[in-house]
Structure 1
Amino acid sequence: MITNSITSLTLTNPGQWFSDRILLAVPVSEDKGNVAEVVSFLIILLLVATAVALVSRRFRIPYITGLVLAGLAITELLPSRIGLDSALIFNLFLPILLFEAAINTDISRLRSTIKPIALLAGPGVLLCSGITSVLLKVELGLDWIPATMVGVILSITDTALVIAVFKEVSVPHRLVTLVEGESLLNDDVALVLFSLILTIHETGALSALDVVQEFLFVLIGGALVGAALGYLSIGLLSQTDDPLGGLLLTVALALGAFQAGELLHVSGVVAVVIAGLIVGNFEHSQVTSASNQVTLFSFWEYAGFGVNTFIFLLIGLEINIITLWQTLPAILLAFIAYQVGRLLTVYPLLAFVRFFDKPIPIRWRHILFAGNIKGSLSTALALSLPADLPGRETLLAIVLGIVLFSLVGQGLSLPWVVRHLKLSYRSKSYQQIEELQAQLMTAKAAQDELDSLLKAGVLPKSIYEEMRASYQLRVATADRTLREIYNQRSEDSPENRSDRTKLETIRRQLLLAEKGALTDALRKRILSEAVVQERIKRIDELLLKLEDD
């Protein structure tokens, strides 16, 4: 795997791609002006990011796309050119992004969609990178090693922008899980492939058996390391009720799992993902309070947002417009190559899903193709291309150019595509359900406030009873109507499939609450392990049978 020594920012003179580097962690003996300069750059980036957030909201453009464009715009205005080192991404940014995505992934939903996810992230990555590599060799005349390296780099998908669009435009939950799950596994497989190609480049050759053995060893080894560290963290978290201490532990877990994997020559990326899945799906239901859960997930949401902000700004700053223009024909040919590779991967493979799992609608396949956006990991791998690789600077320019085209072109068009496909159809009864639920929630919230006002002596009891009765009438009416809608549903009616989504979501939450209660009872030795395991097994079966929109 790729190893690096120290996390750094690079400061280069205008017109150069990379040159003199100023470390983020500067030794005390070095000039203190270096530290002040780096802090000044960070302040500038924060101010630019704030302006981008305001402008992107005003003009309804994706925040990430705005960051890249802002990075391009301010490059020549800075006193020195800020660059991006692969060590910064691999050792700091990537573990944080992966861990944040993993702890927010629902394993029950992931299991229900694992077959198409595994198909895309396993055979899909191999097929996409293979097709792309062949086209790159034919179109650009590259040797096989450079072509396959770039082919793997361009087979990676970055979902940050796609998920941001999904938050603005409502889409089915199963599609969100499919996109997130593919990205989690896609990164793992692509990094292992890149490592194997790098080994072949350095050693000259590897037998097919060696490749398979190394592939399995790295993946399985990374999973074992992540599982061991994840469950160890669960034990440590159960010993403390301090939310800040828990946050520090999860940060150490995210960064440490990656470093442990690299140290043991297995996949640090897989280790981080597995550890995050374990902590996110077991820790919060077993060993921490509700307030600690809120603190934990809020912190990691902010961490992911902050990392994405810096990394996409730095990607914009990394791109040299002059070099981009000089390599534009090659960038366009490579752009076509990886789009063809994705096209011949997503549509044929997902067409076979209907033979062994729930079919993937054609409109979902359109989204998986249109959302084939490149980002941080593709940039990091491009920056880590070996110095002795033939045509390295040209290859780097091609990948960075594609990242720019992808984030800007596809990023700006993706919201329109999602809206145009009308993925989240809502019937009149579905809208009625949401209106009734809103009526229930607001009426009960008002009743709670009335109770508080009565206890505080603000309201006389006669007025309290009159106002509470009016709200109680709303509650009773909404509750009765909702019960009638759920009872009258026809299970065989295609029109009602989307209407059942809300009820299935509620059932899922209730089943997960049952699992939490059982595991808590087992931890407190209220119930025996045999009884708990048997009931949890039945709950898991019910979770997998739920309608997943």
Structure 2
Amino acid sequence: MDIVLVTTILASLFLVIGMAEPLAARFRLPYSVILAMLGILIGVSATFFLRTELTDALNPVAAAILGLPIRSNVFLYVFLPTLLFQTTLGMNLRRMLDDWVPILVLAVVAVVVATLSVGYALSWASALPLAACLLIGAIVSTTDPSAVVSIFRSISAPRRLARIIEGESLLNDAAAIALFGLFMGFVMLGVPDPNLGDALAQFPVLIAGGALMGWLAARIAVWVMAFFARFERAQISISVALPYLAYIGAEQMIGASGVIAVVVAGMTLNLAGPGRLPPQCWTNLREVWDLLAHWAGALIFILAALLIPRLLEEVRLTDFVLMGVVILAAIAARVVILFGLLPLLTLLRASPAVERPYRVAILWGGLRGAVTLALALAVTESFRVPVEVKRVVGILATGFTLFTLMVQGTTLRWVIARLGLDQLSPIDRALSRQVVAVALQTVREDVARTTENYELSHDIVRAEAKRFGERLDAAVKTAEDSADILDRDRITLGLIALAGHERDTILARVRERTISASMAERVLSHADRLIEGARIGGRSDYQRVARRSVAYDRAFRAAVVLHSRLGLSAPLARMTADRFERLLTERLILRDLGRFIDGRIRRIHGRRVADLLHELLARRVEAVETTLEGLRLQYPGYAEELERRFIRRTALRLEEREYTTMREDGLIGAEVHTALMQDVAARRAAAERRPPLDIAPQRAQLVRQFPLFADLEDAALKRLGRALKTRYVNAGDVIIRKESAAKSVFFIASGAVELESAGQIWRLGRGEMFGQMAILMERPRRAEVRAIAPSTLLVLDEERFRRLLKRSKALRQAVRTSAEKRGIDPDALFSDTPNVA
């Protein structure tokens, strides 16, 4: 084929891609549907001009279009890795983990159910062997929810819902292709009735092998990219090679799932990249991948649509009946998942609630696309598949794809409108009014400052100011006096605005490089959770999310177990350092929010709402300060090192800005500016490195700060530091239960606990102890102790506590004082220990 002709056709396809997006907006249709329509039109036109006798002038072009080397491997090895990899780079994976249950249900369980549903329905309705029917089920089970995701975004659907659908689109291709490979093998081997147990047993092996290959490839790529820190183009080039090498390595070297390998490689780079690559390089890398994925996604739809006329050439009347069976079985399978399994998981609190209208939209938005056509093409290309099976697979997969695109895709917006999802909720309408009022206030202030710099007529300024002020007063009054908004909704609106400003502040700090990119991902995820929590559950959910930021999660507790039982300190040191930096960052951000409440929210929602937000903000600041103080006590000096690092980064940013200003003012030339900026970059690289945290000797230093151990000698303090064990507890955790055996004494290094006994309540804080009474009185616990703040406790066993009590006069006095407060005779505690009295 002439290279000039092929180049012309490819360039023309890019022209088609450029026109498709404006056409989709003009006709209010999903972008993928427009691409499919254009591809079908091109394919039908090429077939018509090649076979017609009206003219021969277009025969070379038509033959070249129909003769394009479009094979299934082109889709699976060239386009699919690009789309999957870009999707993982653009996702907030930490937020995705919050919804992993519904994502896995839709991406894996739904694919398996659809495969079995379509397969057994076709087996009942046709003479095809069961293996071939299940193969068709696997081909049509993968969905392309990009259309419904784009529409949900345009109608301001809950971000969590769009995230669930994005997660489904990321993983369901892997599940469907893995099942396709299993059943394709049975069909080529001539096995009519496969053993489903054996087939599904291979499924986890394919996934695990692909995950291992993807993770290993990404870790190597990140290491190489970090080594080339000064060469941005080299880093981006390595990122382009990564998904293809991971895919080919998994498929060809170990026989695992290439799709899973690409997904895991993208996730690994997503999590590790911001912390290992320069911020500007990471931004540019993602922009390059956005463009590559846009082109790949458009080309895969157009080229797949070109195949549709060819795949439908041998259609028969009976095929339409089988096509109807496939459509009904696939929709029924999706109904079972969306209206059966998901509500059940919601009742079990394993999945967030998805409202019925949204489930209907997801059902009707389950379009099929290029992956389905590519898998069908792979079947038709195989010489080991019977001819009749190839014909039926090609027709049914193509017909089902056309139905979803031309029927579901073209009516999706109408369905969403009928469900009322295109209308803003009352709280969203109030939020839009708030935004208008706040924006107009800001505009008025900016205009007032700007007009001072121009020599304008006072009459003109006065007239325009009066006109603008009337509009502003009307907007503010509308925001304040909305009759359909309850007081609690006003509080919710204020919390949403506050969390949104918190997110904007974080982004500003990231751009200034005073917050590291790796830490920015964590605090941004927390800000997103605050926004969603306030939107869904108001004040209670906002406070719940805020408490999570200072709580000890399961990963941290697992790291504590590894440290205390196996001596593996690296995970705990890394997580503790992360916790230090995150708390310092959050404290920095929270200090800026009070001005926003007074400057913006008070003017819109009034003093009462502003005062309440100040109270909630004060609680967050107190919780962060308390937790941070506990870490300071346990690891003295480390917080100061992090604060020095922050100051150095701030100074470098200001220095860089000064050099740029001098260059713009002409005070220094380009050569001097480049040299100065390179010097700043070198010092910034050193400042970005976080100081290491050594957690091993810190406990002994913490013990020295307890007044209870003030009279112990250095040798005794060292032995005590080795004997004490650290325990971390969250607010609400029960530390001691009533009637439990007394085996340990607890010392509070940070935080606070509440002790309840005989209807009385005592609160203990840092430097105090509990649990000693039951040991000395040799009886079961009579009190229940619960943490009322995230706390760090030092635990000492009974035998060592008794030995320590003999040595320390200060500890004996503390025991006596505690006994007297609780109405216990202190002499009775020491009656059996004469040398201690």
Give me the whole-angstrom Cα distance separating, in 2, the residues matched to 1:512 and 1:217.
41
Give me the whole-angstrom Cα distance separating, in 2, the residues matched to 1:285 and 1:513.
18
Give me the whole-angstrom Cα distance separating, in 2, the residues matched to 1:175 and 1:461.
51
Give me the whole-angstrom Cα distance separating, in 1, the residues matched to 2:270 and 2:456.
46
Q: Which residue of 1 aligns with 2:385?
A: 389
Give me the whole-angstrom Cα distance separating, in 2, the residues matched to 1:324 and 1:445.
63
Q: AA paired with 2:405?
A: L
Q: AA paired with 1:169?
A: I
Distance 1:495 1:265, change over 3 A: farther
Q: AA paired with 1:188?
A: A
Q: Which residue of 1 aligns with 2:255?
A: 265
2:329 is aligned with 1:337: yes
Q: Which residue of 2 aligns with 1:146?
A: 132
Q: Which residue of 1 aligns with 2:594?
A: none
Q: AA paired with 1:533?
A: D
The one of 369, 375, 386 equivalent to 2:363 is 369
- Name whichever of 212-221 and 85-94 sits farther off: 212-221
Q: How does 1:177-326 map to 2 (within 5 A)?
A: 177-203=163-189, 210-238=198-226, 239-262=228-251, 263-284=253-274, 286-289=276-279, 291-320=280-309, 322-323=313-314
Give me the whole-angstrom Cα distance separating, in 2, the residues matched to 1:35 and 1:155.
38
Q: AA paired with 1:115?
A: V
Unaligned runs of 5+ in 2: 47-61, 521-571, 587-622, 624-837
Instruction: Give 1:403 deviation, angstroms.
Output: 1.0
Instruction: Give 1:135 deviation, angstroms.
Output: 0.9
2:155/2:423 contact within 8 Å kept: no
Q: AA paired with 1:35?
A: I
Distance 1:513 1:142, change over 3 A: farther
The one of 108, 115, 121 equivalent to 1:129 is 115
2:115/2:141 contact within 8 Å kept: yes
Instruction: Give 1:306 deviation, angstroms.
Output: 1.2
Give me the whole-angstrom Cα distance separating, in 1, the residues matched to 2:281 and 2:446.
25
Give me the whole-angstrom Cα distance separating, in 1, the residues matched to 2:450 and 2:493.
39
Instruction: Give 1:497 deviation, angstroms.
Output: 6.5
2:178 is aligned with 1:161: no
2:345 is aligned with 1:356: no
- Supply the RMSD in Å over aligned alpha carbons: 4.1
Instruction: Give 1:186 deviation, angstroms.
Output: 1.3
More relative contact order in 1 or in 2 (CA 8 Å, sep 6+)? 1
What do residues 211-236 of structure 1 show as CA deviations (whole Å, max 9, x unaligned)?
A: 45532221112112222222333333
Instruction: Give 1:58 deviation, angstroms.
Output: 2.3
2:122/2:322 contact within 8 Å kept: no
Q: Which residue of 2 aligns with 1:64?
A: 32
2:427/2:489 contact within 8 Å kept: no
Q: AA paired with 1:266?
A: A
Give me the whole-angstrom Cα distance separating, in 2, the residues matched to 1:499 and 1:414.
34
Give me the whole-angstrom Cα distance separating, in 1, the residues matched to 2:410 and 2:494.
31
Q: Which residue of 2 aligns with 1:347?
A: 339
Give me the whole-angstrom Cα distance separating, in 1, the residues matched to 2:429 and 2:167.
29
- Name whichever of 310-319 and 96-105 sits farther off: 310-319
Give me the whole-angstrom Cα distance separating, in 2, the residues matched to 1:333 and 1:209.
25
Q: Which residue of 1 aligns with 2:410?
A: 412
2:400 is aligned with 1:402: yes
What do residues 410-438 of structure 1 show as CA deviations (whole Å, max 9, x unaligned)?
A: 11111222233233764555444445445
Name the SS of the counterpart of 2:203 in structure 1. helix
Give me the whole-angstrom Cα distance separating, in 2, the residues matched to 1:163 and 1:258.
26
- Name whichever of 275-284 and 528-537 sits farther off: 528-537
Give me the whole-angstrom Cα distance separating, in 2, the residues matched to 1:409 and 1:521.
46
Instruction: Give 1:507 deviation, angstroms.
Output: 5.3
Structure 2 length normalisation: TM-score?
0.52
Percent of aligned positions that are identical:
23
Q: AA paired with 1:127?
A: V
Q: AA paired with 1:416?
A: W
Q: How does 1:14-33 map to 2 (within 5 A)?
A: 33=1
Give me the whole-angstrom Cα distance separating, in 2, the residues matched to 1:74 and 1:88.
19
The one of 12, 22, 25 equivalent to 1:44 is 12
1:68/1:313 contact within 8 Å kept: yes
Q: Which residue of 1 aligns with 2:754?
A: none
1:518/1:536 contact within 8 Å kept: no
Distance 1:427 1:317, change over 3 A: closer
Instruction: Give 1:325 deviation, angstroms.
Output: 6.8
Give me the whole-angstrom Cα distance separating, in 1, the residues matched to 2:473 and 2:223.
47
Unaligned runs of 5+ in 1: 1-32, 543-549
Name the SS of the counterpart of 1:310 in structure 2. helix
Q: Which residue of 2 aligns with 1:25?
A: none
Instruction: Give 1:208 deviation, angstroms.
Output: 6.4
Distance 1:517 1:148, change over 3 A: same
Larger CA Rg, structure 1 vs 2: 2
1:350/1:365 contact within 8 Å kept: no
Give me the whole-angstrom Cα distance separating, in 2, the residues matched to 1:495 and 1:369.
34
Distance 1:99 1:490, change over 3 A: farther
1:124/1:349 contact within 8 Å kept: no
- Name whichever of 233-242 and 147-156 sits farther off: 233-242
Instruction: Give 1:461 deviation, angstroms.
Output: 13
Q: AA paired with 2:305?
A: G
Distance 1:349 1:313, change over 3 A: same
Instruction: Give 1:257 deviation, angstroms.
Output: 1.6
Distance 1:89 1:503, change over 3 A: farther
State the aligned residue count. 491
Give me the whole-angstrom Cα distance separating, in 2, the residues matched to 1:242 and 1:435.
47
Distance 1:282 1:260, change over 3 A: same
Give me the whole-angstrom Cα distance separating, in 2, the residues matched to 1:306 and 1:269.
19
Name the SS of the counterpart of 2:2 in structure 1. helix
Structure 1 length normalisation: TM-score?
0.77
Q: AA paired with 1:253?
A: L
Give me the whole-angstrom Cα distance separating, in 1, the residues matched to 2:409 and 2:424.
26
Q: AA paired with 1:319?
A: I
Give me the whole-angstrom Cα distance separating, in 2, the residues matched to 1:500 and 1:425.
22
Distance 1:297 1:481, change over 3 A: farther
2:104 is aligned with 1:108: no
Give me the whole-angstrom Cα distance separating, in 2, the residues matched to 1:242 and 1:144.
55
Q: AA paired with 1:412?
A: T
Instruction: Give 1:270 deviation, angstroms.
Output: 0.8
Q: How does 1:507-522 map to 2 (within 5 A)?
A: 517=515
1:429/1:499 contact within 8 Å kept: no
Q: How does 1:397-546 map to 2 (within 5 A)?
A: 397-423=395-421, 426-428=424-426, 430-437=428-435, 517=515, 529-535=574-580
Instruction: Give 1:47 deviation, angstroms.
Output: 2.7
Q: AA paired with 2:270?
A: G
